Amino acid sequence: MDTIMALWFPVLAAAISVFFLSFLFWMVLPHHRKDIQALPDEKPIFDAIGSLDVPPGLYMWPNCTDTADYRSEEFRERYRKGPWGTITIRPSMPNFRNNLLITFVVYLGVAACSGGLVHCGLGNGGSFMQVFPPAAMMAFLAYGLGPLCGATFLGKPLRFMVTDFVDGVLMAATNGVILAALWPAAG
């Protein structure tokens, strides 16, 4: 049990480091400023969505509620003509404190999983170069590759996917460096 407990400090330090790196990426550095754009005129969208009383959820259009409708000529014409898009309707105003807490918990989970899996294969006492590659690679699967699946399907712009991917590589490297640098000694 003591060997597992020795992982908590490196795991917590890795999660905190990635959390602050993410903050720098989104709030300080300029590379995400053009990823999410404002509509030229939000008012018609606000009015339309508000008048429809759309329940919270993720929506894609054109779309159908019944899969049989996908074969209809009406749907095919809407699909050919466009526009195409996705929209997320939230149930209330975003609570950034809760969102940041959930984000940190995800980073903590990635650090714990990567550290725990490295520990299963290596145990305590590994060198920096024994810990860094697998810890960084496992974090890369979460931070670098994981977001691409949904991003491509939901039509996020290529620029958004590239900047997100670069962030993921740097976040994974940070996770690996912190875990490797603080890895518990043998014994």
Please tell me whether residue 88 adopts helix, strand or coil conformation: strand
Adjacent-strand bridge partners of 85: 61
pTM: 0.84
* Geometric angle at alpha carbon 56, from 51 and 62, rounded to 5°: 75
Distance between CA atoms of residues 173 and 17, nearest Å = 11
Question: Residue 108 class from Cβ within 10 Å (0-12 exposed, 13-18 middle, 19+ buried)?
Answer: middle
pLDDT in tens, 33-91: 888 888 889 999 889 888 998 899 999 889 988 888 888 999 999 999 989 888 889 88
User: Mutual orientation of helices 146-153 and 158-181 as an angle, nearest 10°?
Assistant: 170
How confident is residue 167, by pLDDT bands cut at 50, 70 and 90? very high
| pLDDT at residue 110 tops 80 | yes
Question: In the chain, where are the structural domains located?
Answer: 2-36+95-181
Around Cβ 139, how many Cβ atoms within 10 Å?
A: 27
